[in-house]
Amino acid sequence: MVDIFGYTDFRKYLSDVYADRKRGNPAFSYRRLAQKAGLNSKGFVYNIVNGKKLLSKSNTFRLSEALGHNRPETEYFDNLVSFNQAKNLHERNHYFGLLCHIRTRGRGASSEPTRLVKEQFLFFSKWYHTIIRSLIGMYGFTGDYARLAKMVRPPILPSQARQSIALLEKLGLIEKDANNAWTVTDNSVTTGPEVASLAVENYHVEAAELAKRSIRETAPDMRNISGLILGISDTGYRRICEELREFQSRIMAIADDDDEADRVYHFNFHLFPVSETGGERGKK
């Protein structure tokens, strides 16, 4: 059986359900599923799965009923569709919160996959978790949460530092050594692409706010903030993106080779359009 609560992409879920039922019944098809849902279009479900069409609210419930969902599964599927088809970050955050809540009821709060998805999302979406892990890598940590909180810039609360340590431990990103001090591990955090994408969006919003704050609060000789206004084509944009990727690799190499690192920096890369295209050049 395909567990719907393990999915953050309703199209991937439908594809896996199709494959699972096809194995059990070779006569099963997207067309048959559409007919069971009372949908006349032969390729309706196929086009939905392949991202060629959006799934309306009414058809979401028809399809859910045809799949034999119980009440929690129906509620989860409905919000999963809304999450994937949301138009902005605010909506995606709203529906992700509902998905986590429904998943907890559907699987149980003690479910390891349920807890892991929430913890992964928290790690990616809060700016200070990575900073605290970097500070532990530089200085270690023995339990002074007030001092650790003050080392973060801007400072966070000791309670936030404590929560961050607990989260990093759960994700296996830090561990205690023989002297009962926290040290970093070589583990990494991964999650589904939809959850990671949402978390990264939230992270970049917070990072942009940090950059704005640094202009007001950080001395000019301790920060480097600049900007360019460029007139470029799509080809030029892609060339610049490639240059940025190579530049990031060189920056990371410098940081990796820096054995005297004593401070954590945040390096933002922003490149975005501030105008619309105006048709062919030279024409008004």
What value does the CA radius of gyration of the chain take, rounded to a whole number of Å? 24
Q: Is residue 186 part of a domain?
A: no
Q: Is residue 116 part of a domain?
A: no
Provide the residue-wise pLDDT of the chain in tens; the chain has 284 residues.
Answer: 789 998 989 999 999 999 999 999 999 999 999 999 998 777 889 999 999 999 999 999 999 999 999 999 999 999 999 999 999 989 998 998 888 888 877 665 444 544 556 677 777 778 899 899 999 988 989 999 999 999 998 899 999 999 999 999 988 889 998 888 999 987 666 666 777 678 778 888 888 888 888 888 888 888 888 888 889 999 999 999 999 999 989 998 998 898 888 888 988 888 888 787 776 665 54
Q: Is residue 261 part of a domain?
A: no
**Would you say 53 and 44 are in contact if contact means Cβ atoms under 8 Å apart?**
yes
pLDDT of residue 110: 44
Q: To the nearest 5 percent, what fractions of the chain are helix, strand and coil?
A: 60, 0, 35
Q: Is residue 63 part of a domain?
A: yes
Cα four-point dihedral sign 123, 125, 130, 132: negative
In angstroms, the CA 266 to CA 274 distance is 24
* Residues composing the chain: 284
First to last CA, the chain: 59
Residue range of the domain that includes 12: 4-103
Task: Tell me the Ramachandran region of residue 51: left when phi exceeds 0, alpha when psi lies from -120 to 50, beta otherwise.
Answer: left
Q: Is residue 48 part of a domain?
A: yes
**What is the enclosing helix (H) or strand (E) of 22?**
helix 10-24
Count of domains forming the chain: 1
Measured in whole angstroms, how far is the alpha carbon of residue 56 from the centre of its chain? 25
Cα four-point dihedral sign 128, 131, 137, 142: negative
**CATH classification at residue 97:** 1.10.260
Q: Is residue 76 part of a domain?
A: yes
Token couple for 197: 């994408």
- One-character DSSP codes across 75-132: HHHHHHHHHHH-SSHHHHHHHHHHHHHHHHHHH-TT-HHHHHHHHHHHHHH-HHHHHH
Q: Is residue 191 part of a domain?
A: no
Q: Is residue 129 part of a domain?
A: no
State pTM to two decimals: 0.65
SS (H, E, C) 230-245: CCCCHHHHHHHHHHHH
